[in-house]
Amino acid sequence: MYLSQRKLWKFFAVACGLLSLMTLFLLRLLSRSCKHEENKDFPTASMINNGHPPLHHVDRSTPLIFVGGFPRSGTTLMRAMLDAHPDIRCGQETRVIPKILMGISRIFSFVSEKEKQRREEAGVNQDLLDSAVAVLIGEIIAKHGDPAPRLCNKDPLTFRNLSYLARIFPKSKFVFMVRDGRAVVHSIMERGVVIRGVNNRRPEILLRTWNDATGEMNAQCVALGQSRCLRIPYEHLVLFPAESMEIILEFLDVSWNDAVVHHETMIGKPGGVILSSLEKSTDQVKEAVNLRALYKWSERLSSSLMEHTNRIAPVMRTLGYDTRIKWPDYRKMDSVVTKHNN
């Protein structure tokens, strides 16, 4: 199938833009390396932090934390609770990392076998490309906020490229947030959240989009394994916050700190939680963990959508959600949290 001339130009423009960005970051990295050699006798900020060196530089061996999932699935609450921990910094969404990953995947998918052979013959192999992308993403994560012993990124849709992120950052770990698809649809419509290419006024289309994207992310999470990808239902995070955070911090190899279940007390404080004035979730996340959003969808979605949920969104059952009733008992849903509680 041949691409139109317009699409080809668009593809090459994206490719050139991404390659230019990676070139600039590599040059910056080389420049910083030279400066470090000149000043190696002087202590840097990364050497002093009560015995826990904060990171302001990331390489492929850095144990990064990634928080993701479909929009309106509790990713902002999750990152705020992690941000409240003194050793973790997530910060606001970068909004650029998902676009970089999408552009890179397009570049790779449009390369013919012959072109790939020529590229590898020239020494431009997959490992070199992965390293260049890791430098670009790592610099953004490290430099868009304050340094911390553990750095974290929360851009929900990065999890569409979860397998690739896991490959370029082999010591990273992933917290995959999921939520009842019906609640996600209601929240997107109520809040006027815009997802490019999706009609956010058509609940059936939204639910189908949620199903396809969440199913894709879940498959990658399962393939990666429980040692690196942890799936947490939003419902269990708000129903069992302390138990959920205990499991999450143990998974991340981070010691317990009570601040994670009182994130609202750390908002705006130095080393605490910074919220965006432009993000749709801010007015909710600035409050203590609560159950107010748990069943809002039950009275506001059409009976027709409820009746056809199984057909439209089979991933709901895969994740353990009960689609048969209007007021499901989320406490009985299987997850790592409820298994731990039992």
- DSSP readout, 193-220? ---TTS-TT-HHHHHHHHHHHHHHHHHH
In angstroms, the Cα distances linking 12 to 17, 110, 136 are 8, 10, 19
Which of these, 157, 146, 134, lies nearest to 64 by C-alpha position? Answer: 134
Give residue 51's pLDDT.
46
Give residue 116's pLDDT.
83
Residues of the chain above pLDDT 70, percent? 84
Q: How confident is the model at residue 43 (pLDDT cuts 50, 70, 90)?
A: very low
Output DSSP code: residue 279: -
Residue with tokens 């000043």: 39
Q: Encoding tokens for residue 82?
A: 């992690």
Of 2-6, 30-34, 109-113, 167-171, the range with the highest mean pLDDT is 167-171
Which of these, 42, 40, 46, 78, lies nearest to 59 by C-alpha position? Answer: 46
Output DSSP code: residue 55: B
Give residue 200's pLDDT.
84
Domain boundaries, the chain: 65-341
Residue 164 · residue 77 · CB < 8 Å: no
Edge-first strand order for the sheet with 229-233 is 88-89, 150-154, 65-68, 173-178, 229-233
Which of these, 11, 29, 170, 172, lies nearest to 104 by C-alpha position? Answer: 11
Write b or e for each residue in 152-188: b if 16 or more Cβ atoms lie within 10 A of its Cβ, otherwise e. Answer: bbbbbbbbbbbebbbbbbeebbbbbbbbbbbbbbbbb
- The contacts of residue 239 (CB under 8 Å, 6+ apart) are 291, 294, 330, 331
Output DSSP code: residue 63: -
Give residue 154's pLDDT.
98
Which of these, 338, 249, 289, lies nearest to 80 by C-alpha position? Answer: 289
3-state SS class at 173: strand
Which of these, 231, 234, 232, lies nearest to 223 by C-alpha position? Answer: 231
Give residue 304's pLDDT.
92
Residue with tokens 């039950």: 298
- Mark whether 250 is an active-site residue: no
Angle separating helix axes 5-38 and 97-109, nearest 10 degrees: 120
Output DSSP code: residue 292: T
In this structure, which topology does domain 65-341 adopt according to CATH? Answer: Rossmann fold (3.40.50)
User: What torsion, rounded to 10 degrees, do the Cα atoms 258, 337, 68, 210 define?
Assistant: -140
Provide the whole-model pTM: 0.85
Residue 47 has pLDDT above 60, yes or no: no
Give residue 249's pLDDT.
98
Residue 193 has pLDDT above 80, yes or no: yes
CA distance 132 to 128: 6
Give the residue with greater pLDDT, 278 vs 176.
Answer: 176
Q: Which of 93, 113, 121, 250 is catalytic?
A: 93
